[in-house]
Structure 1
Amino acid sequence: MKSTIFRYNRVLITSVFLFLSIQYSFGNQEDIANQIRFRFETDQPKERLEIRDIPLASGDGLFPFYTAREFEPVWSENGILKEMAYELRFEIKQAKYDGLNPKDYHLDLFDAFFESFEQNKEAGVTNEIADVADLDIFLTDAFFRLAEDLEVGRVDPSVLKAEWEIPPIVANTDYGHLLTEATQGGQLRSYLVSLYPKFMMYRNGREVLRAMENTEEKDSLDWKEIKINKSIKPGDSNSDIPLIRERLRFWGYLSDSSDVGSKNYDSALVDAVKEFQKENGMEDDGILGKLSILALNQSPEDLIDKISVNLERMRWLPDTVDNSEFILVNIANFQLDLIDKLDTIHSAKVIVGKRYHESPIFMADMSYIVFSPYWNIPYSITRNEILPSIRKNPNYLKEKNMEVVTSAGKVVDPSTIDFSSKSFPYWIRQKPGGSNSLGLVKFMFPNKHSVYIHDTPARSLFSREDRALSHGCIRLQDPAKFAQILLESNRGWTPQKINEAMHLDHEEIVNLDRKIPVVILYLTFWADSNGKGHFRPDIYDRDQEVLKALRN
């Protein structure tokens, strides 16, 4: 009898454990929901919610999201992963074409989970509830983080040393609601794509990055840095010419059959260099100078980093210029574009701030034009440049068509001033005229930086490749043409009247009949409407800081 009871109890206990095991492993939605609830309701003294000692980037948004759905799992049904879970993993892998690192979105973890679940399926073993619950939270966390990074950028530009004062786009998407819609409507990708910047250059830039990734996979060059002491000119012989030939052949500017061993800078190579220079925004003169060599030293890996940095910058830009008229100045491209309804109406070369006098990145509204302007010289330039020149040459003010004024604008006789004194309670301004440093016209968009767009008497500088030469303001080529376009809707402002206004002995201020947004930004890469990628030198050395923040 004892033996029978013992056998009965053993069978009963075994059955209970088997039942519990099945309940734990197989799990219905309620069991998994309870496990998810347990993860959030466990008292954790840490600042961030962690699962398996892994911090969750979207901790603040996860709890209300799961609470609203009573902790029901998103990515599985009765312990079996939905197709949408695999779709999200695919989209995370595709994030590399946004310049993002897929590993920042738990990719390694998902690969391990998915492999384990596949092995369980092949072995006929069910997935454990704890694993299904944890994976669900990780997947949701990854979706929230990826969605936010696509919408507003991964890096906060306000924490960078290099100031970026364009008002950033504000995240106004409820990612929980977005995910709920995606689960109901399918096509997870379309919901993520809806978060991309609205600029076509972003989507085209992604495709350039995709192509560059493919190019990088085929790359077998060593990309040793080429260094030159002086420019290499057509007809020269140089030991670095074989490397230059090799790289131009790699990028498709020389045929595969071309001889890369020759050290002579022959006509075929000159033609290839000119095409390369033109494609990279340089003067196509065939002379291999600093900028040409700098561009030739960039490997596919370097260009992948450059594209990634600038896709991130594009994600910082607000969508406030969709179809409106605006003026775009890309510092790194030394160019101004007037854009209306997404069409480029006018383009012109510009000169921007040199190193240590860098042009700031910001937005403001252009509201008026000043013809025949005075140049009110900033005090820093007065102190560091003008006053020392006056002390050396008493006729300096007269020669430069300058005058001294009080803060109220009253002209002061310079003979009454002791310029050797440390104290100088005046301002110096340059009178209107052809020698005025602002040229014959300036375009005003009031801002805290006192930066504006203006003419210049030194027009020969526009022929230079590197045009980072100013104290921060933007010097414009052919400003009369620009003024004509801006004043087309202002009655009476004919080209003749504009020319007359530019040659007065006093200022003339003309208010525009509308305010035009001016966007001064810094992009060392962009893709045009035809999908072609454009790369420019990082003249202010700002890319590395963004790249480091993006990769960390």
Structure 2
Amino acid sequence: MNKLLHYTIFFCALLSVLSCKKQADLILVKTIENTSIKQQSISVSSNVLNEILLKLKKDSLSFKLKNKDSVLAFYELRNGKAAWEAIQNRNALYTAISTADKQGLNPSDYNLNKIKEIITSDPFSTKNNAAIDILFTDTSLSYSYHLANGRFNPKKLYNDWKLDANVFKFNSILSNSLNEKSLDKSFQKFTPQHTIYKQLLKQLPASKALVSSDSLRTITEHGSKIRPNKSSTRIINIRKRLNELGFLQDSLITQSKVLDTLLQQSVRDFQTSKKIKTDAIIGIGTIDALNESYQDQYNSILANLERWRWFPRYLGENYILVNISDYKLKYITKNDTTQYTIIVGKTARKTPVFSSQISHLDFNPKWFIPPTIKKEDIIPAATKDIDYLRKKNISVFHKEKRMILDSINWNSSAPLSYRYVQGAGDSNALGRVKIIFPNKFSVYLHDTPSKSLFNKNYRARSSGCVRVQNVFSLAADILNFSNDKITNLVDHKLTKRIHVTKDIKVHLFYWSVVFNNKSEPIFLNDVYKLDKELAKKLAN
């Protein structure tokens, strides 16, 4: 019954959206067709255009541009000639920006009202065609930049994201497309072509249509944890919500207030789908996930579209792709894709987002303990119990001199200036293999002695590095070594470095929406709580 209600709500909402959209499209078509001159051209005085460009150089224009330097470079490329004399090109730009929401962008960011006014007026009656030419160029560059690299620079939003902008010859591509009257093709070049980006775009209107039905979902209030076989009045709503989400059969929607065996299994299945702790205990995290709205899901799609625009267009011939939110690593080559389970940084020590290239692997590595862990973990533990360092096989160095542990004044500031090194061995936090790719965050892929944590559903548990299950297999693939050769390197117990001769890129990224084999969206646990804030920025 509840699934039927869900689909009924969805189709009604979607029909409403499509109806409004058809009307808007009809108005747009009429607007363009009614010019009856869309194949004609408008004459723009080169003298007037260059006078305006001169004012632009001197910052003496009466209106502001978003891309002053790029606009000047664009007209320099065209030897001062106008770009938007063809009405067909003007209409094409209006069509693109008025439907920017189909890309998860905001049409109002692109001078929509001004351009609509220009499009719907008689182009031959205006004396401002030179200024209009510049306005259209500025707008098209903004839209191009946003398609290519997103509206926001991730390095300015997050201290632990380092992604370089995708490089295109924007002015050249735009100028050529205008000459050929194929503006839409230039925008297509700037748009991500990855399958998941296209799936997100396809899902966007359906997700937006569902937002209006948010008020019909069952909400569960927060409260104390509900443990297996315990009772709570909130269980009744939890049953209803699990049924709405497809995790509980209609026959199990009862007035029972007990978290019984069958309901426990439904809760576990739901927790597993969200990659939150799978224990059938209903706490804050589970309630938040149950209460997730269609607006939340729509926000996640918008946020993920923006992140895909940030992402490099070329990933490499051979590359490792880490999805932090999914706790998965994929090693992708021309002929094969291998997937590994991973553990990522906890919320207080997030795994950073960046791209690099593998340089070498260390077998039986030492661990040179980074500053944050030294300050927040190692020194406090040593202050409480000096034997902690001995048990963990951690040595302390001042410059190149190894310190006698009992001689260190742990209550002074001196220990902060020392280096801490954990020797190779079974207790080493990096395990037996470390995969290095240069980066400013001191982050790498590695083995771990705490292998039981891979069995957990919630795996944001590291201090920032990425722990890889079955990492020996990954090492063998990277080096083209046999499993026996890897085993021999590990069993030898000596620290050994092996450089990687082929190019293998590493991309650490964050997607909270993925798709299954049926192209159905899976809304993962937004482990670092980034989606809502980014969607809010995109809406403003």
Q: Does 1:165 align with 2:162?
A: yes
Partner of 1:103: 108
Q: Does 1:227 align with 2:222?
A: yes
Describe how 1:533-548 pairs up with structure 2 within 5 A.
533-548=521-536
Q: Does 1:518 align with 2:506?
A: yes
String of CA shifts for 1:432-477, please: whole Å, max 9, x gaps. 2222222222222233322222222222222333322222222222
Q: Does 1:91 align with 2:87?
A: no
CA distance 1:432–1:245, change in 2 (3 Å): same
State the TM-score, normalizing by the size of structure 1: 0.76
Q: Does 1:296 align with 2:290?
A: yes
Q: Does 1:378 align with 2:389?
A: no
Q: 1:74 aligns with which of 77, 85, 88?
A: 85
String of CA shifts for 1:392-415, please: whole Å, max 9, x gaps. 33433332233334543x655435
CA distance 1:418–1:245, change in 2 (3 Å): closer
Q: 2:209 aligns with which of 214, 237, 240?
A: 214
Partner of 2:453: 461
TM-superposed CA distance for 1:150, in Å, is: 0.6
**Counterpart residue identity of residue 541, structure 1:** K
TM-superposed CA distance for 1:286, in Å, is: 5.3
CA distance, structure 2, for counterparts of residue 132 and residue 223 of structure 1: 56
Contact 1:270 1:286 in 2 (8 A): yes
Partner of 2:142: 145
TM-superposed CA distance for 1:165, in Å, is: 0.9
TM-superposed CA distance for 1:478, in Å, is: 2.1
**Counterpart residue identity of residue 527, structure 2:** I
CA distance, structure 2, for counterparts of residue 350 and residue 247 of structure 1: 30
Describe how 1:232-247 pairs up with structure 2 within 5 A.
233=228, 237-247=231-241
Contact 1:369 1:510 in 2 (8 A): yes
TM-superposed CA distance for 1:100, in Å, is: 0.5
Describe how 1:175-194 pairs up with structure 2 within 5 A.
177-178=173-174, 180-182=176-178, 184-186=180-182, 188-194=183-189
String of CA shifts for 1:506-544, please: whole Å, max 9, x gaps. 322223332422212222234467533232333333334
Contact 1:152 1:171 in 2 (8 A): no
TM-superposed CA distance for 1:358, in Å, is: 2.1
Q: Does 1:307 align with 2:324?
A: no
Please report the RMSD computed on the Cα atoms of aligned residues, expressed in angstroms. Answer: 3.9
**Counterpart residue identity of residue 298, structure 2:** I
Describe how 1:225-374 pairs up with structure 2 within 5 A.
226-231=221-226, 233=228, 237-248=231-242, 250-251=244-245, 273=267, 276-282=270-276, 288-322=282-316, 324-341=317-334, 343-345=336-338, 347-374=339-366
**Counterpart residue identity of residue 146, structure 1:** Y
**Counterpart residue identity of residue 207, structure 2:** M
**Counterpart residue identity of residue 308, structure 1:** L
CA distance 1:181–1:393, change in 2 (3 Å): closer
Q: Does 1:486 align with 2:498?
A: no
Contact 1:96 1:102 in 2 (8 A): yes
CA distance, structure 1, for counterparts of residue 250 and residue 143 of structure 2: 41
TM-superposed CA distance for 1:106, in Å, is: 2.8
TM-superposed CA distance for 1:103, in Å, is: 1.7
Secondary structure of the structure 1 residue equivalent to 2:467: strand
Contact 1:455 1:476 in 2 (8 A): yes
TM-superposed CA distance for 1:219, in Å, is: 4.7
CA distance, structure 2, for counterparts of residue 133 and residue 222 of structure 1: 54
TM-superposed CA distance for 1:218, in Å, is: 5.1
**Counterpart residue identity of residue 405, structure 2:** P
Q: 1:57 aligns with which of 54, 57, 66?
A: 66
CA distance, structure 1, for counterparts of residue 50 and residue 359 of structure 2: 59
Describe how 1:190-201 pairs up with structure 2 within 5 A.
190-201=185-196
Secondary structure of the structure 2 residue equivalent to 1:523: coil
Q: 2:483 aligns with which of 495, 515, 521?
A: 495
Secondary structure of the structure 2 residue equivalent to 1:129: coil
**Counterpart residue identity of residue 357, structure 1:** R
Secondary structure of the structure 1 residue equivalent to 2:180: helix
CA distance 1:272–1:427, change in 2 (3 Å): closer
TM-superposed CA distance for 1:387, in Å, is: 3.7
CA distance, structure 2, for counterparts of residue 261 and residue 180 of structure 1: 67
State the TM-score, normalizing by the size of structure 2: 0.78
CA distance, structure 2, for counterparts of residue 259 and residue 229 of structure 1: 22
TM-superposed CA distance for 1:341, in Å, is: 3.0
CA distance, structure 1, for counterparts of residue 306 and residue 86 of structure 2: 29
CA distance 1:50–1:202, change in 2 (3 Å): farther
Contact 2:220 2:291 in 1 (8 A): yes
Contact 2:330 2:340 in 1 (8 A): yes
Contact 1:333 1:524 in 2 (8 A): yes
Secondary structure of the structure 2 residue equivalent to 1:191: helix
CA distance 1:411–1:102, change in 2 (3 Å): same
Secondary structure of the structure 2 residue equivalent to 1:174: helix
**Counterpart residue identity of residue 499, structure 1:** T
Contact 1:75 1:136 in 2 (8 A): no
CA distance, structure 1, for counterparts of residue 68 and residue 391 of structure 2: 67
Partner of 1:508: 496
CA distance, structure 2, for counterparts of residue 258 and residue 239 of structure 1: 16
Contact 1:216 1:301 in 2 (8 A): yes
Contact 2:46 2:81 in 1 (8 A): no
Q: Does 1:40 align with 2:52?
A: yes
String of CA shifts for 1:21-74, please: whole Å, max 9, x gaps. xxxxxxx956665897499369579958566xxx44345455665675743743
Aligned length: 498
CA distance 1:497–1:60, change in 2 (3 Å): closer
Q: Which runs of 5+ in 1 are unaligned?
A: 1-27, 77-81, 121-125
Partner of 2:444: 452
CA distance 1:423–1:96, change in 2 (3 Å): same
CA distance, structure 1, for counterparts of residue 379 and residue 157 of structure 2: 35
Q: Which is higher, the Rg of structure 1 or of structure 2?
A: 1
